Amino acid sequence: MSDPCDSCSQSVEDALARDVRLQVDRSTVDNQRLCPTCFADWITRYKEEMSPKAADSGSTDSEIIVD
């Protein structure tokens, strides 16, 4: 049994899927099942969006967890 990718809706095998959780202040704010392609895109987008803010504030409590 394989579930679809949350981003592109294509079926993705468990062996290839990446379950990504984004946590801010210890609470889960984003939880997605992604295929390898969408996972790479997601990480790239996350870094682009979060890096400048992290640099501005000096610190951040957000964290990516990849199962």
Under the rule (CB under 5 A), what is the footprint of Zn ion? 5, 7-8, 35, 38
Half-sphere exposure of 59 (CA within 13 A, CB side): 2
Nearer to Zn ion, 10 or 28 (CB): 10
Nearer to Zn ion, 20 or 35 (CB): 35
Nearer to Zn ion, 41 or 62 (CB): 41
CB of 15 to Zn ion, least distance (A): 15
